[in-house]
Structure 1
Amino acid sequence: MKKNPLVEWVWVMDELGVGWCQCEKDSITGKAPHPVNKPLVTKSIIRALGDVPDVMSNQDISLVVVDLWKFDTITPPIAESLMRSVKAVNGEMHPQYPTATAMAAIKHFSNTFDGQINA
């Protein structure tokens, strides 16, 4: 997997949303014990897509988010939040992204999702 230095900031950002892990937070650090990290996102990519591709489409990103978060489907509020995350890490929407950029968008989504599933 190619390293993209332009998106590395995402992997150290604070959780701002509801958080993927709903386990009790560490009493000292205040952080969830199971953060969304590269190995976790990679597992979801493999489960959702069969392997780790060189590039990922918006649909691929959505499929990985559905797998990671165990959503039934991508609803409009989830899609909007996901689009904001893609734009945050890539600047704008495109048909495809390098896998490192797509993974960063998934991480950003996981750190900023507000929990709203239905409109």
Structure 2
Amino acid sequence: MAGGQDLMEALRPKSVQELHASVAAGSRTQKSLPPIVAQLQQFVEQRAACEERCVARLRGRAVTEAGLLPCATVAADNPAVTREAAEQQMAKASITGAVNRRFGALESRCAVLCGSRLSHLIGGS
């Protein structure tokens, strides 16, 4: 056991400069990457962009649907109207929360949807 630890300690870089030098030497000797790597990189980039667009569309739709409620009119001189307006604001906040939760649950499906839409980029078929 001690011999294995001594070997590992001997292979470990002694300084940050030695670490950077060994990483640079390793990257110079590395062969070119297989074509699948470029395909995977393209897939990941396009999927991330697709997910961003999907989430942005869902959030925009949530704002639109939450905004379909009529706005309360507030009259400062009439206490009955202000109480009614406060109740309407509470109802609107409740409905807005429900709409945001519903669309928030749909955001997790964007990854699956975008992955299936872009699956043709991987596998050559």
The TM-score bracket by the shorter chain reads under 0.3
Give the TM-score of the pair, scaled to structure 2.
0.25
**Larger strand proportion of the pair:** 1
Which protein is bigger by CA-based radius of gyration? 2
Give the TM-score of the pair, scaled to structure 1.
0.26
